[in-house]
Amino acid sequence: MIGLVVILPVAFFVGWILKNSVSLYRGRAWPSGWVGLFWLSAALGLGLGTWFCGYAEWEAMQFRRLPIPIARLDPATGVWNALEMPSALRQLTLAVDFFAGLALALFPITASMRIAEFMDESRRLKAAAAQSIPSADDAP
């Protein structure tokens, strides 16, 4: 169960990124450029997630599947040995690896959308403040 110490924090972080991505995307009417970038990132994320849970191997690091490895390379023999974990934990690991790939691809566009939303809001507040301040010409 020591694997849960690694899997659960990664799963919660990935879930938080994906929840924020979807809520930000659905929260307002974005110009078509942003929508296209969001869906391009989602498509890239699906590919990256599939690669993470199905094909990712790093011989230099001696691990298969990241961010949560499921096998270790024996440098002496060159054979991949599965890490000992229950089947349910292995399936959870593969699911988290898939969603981590998806979140990794969506994170940059989500951060950019959040910054754009913040900039729009700050411009709106600045314009509202400028309109509410009386000018010197209006003074009696």
Taking 70 as the threshold, does the pLDDT of residue 42 lie above it? yes
Average pLDDT over residues 35-49: 88
Report CA-CA distances (Å) from 35 to 80, 100, 105.
Answer: 41, 21, 15
Residue 99 falls inside a structural domain: yes
* C-alpha torsion sign, points 91, 97, 102, 103: positive
When divided into structural domains, the chain yields a total of 1
Residue 16 falls inside a structural domain: no
As given in the structure block, the two tokens for residue 127 are 């314009």
Domain containing 3: what range? Answer: 1-7+31-117
Residue 15 falls inside a structural domain: no
Cis peptide before 67 (omega within 30 of 0): yes
| Predicted pLDDT at 67 | 67
Q: What is the pTM of this model?
A: 0.69
- Give tens-digit pLDDT for 97-125: 888 888 888 888 888 888 888 888 888 88
Residue 14 falls inside a structural domain: no
Residue 21 falls inside a structural domain: no
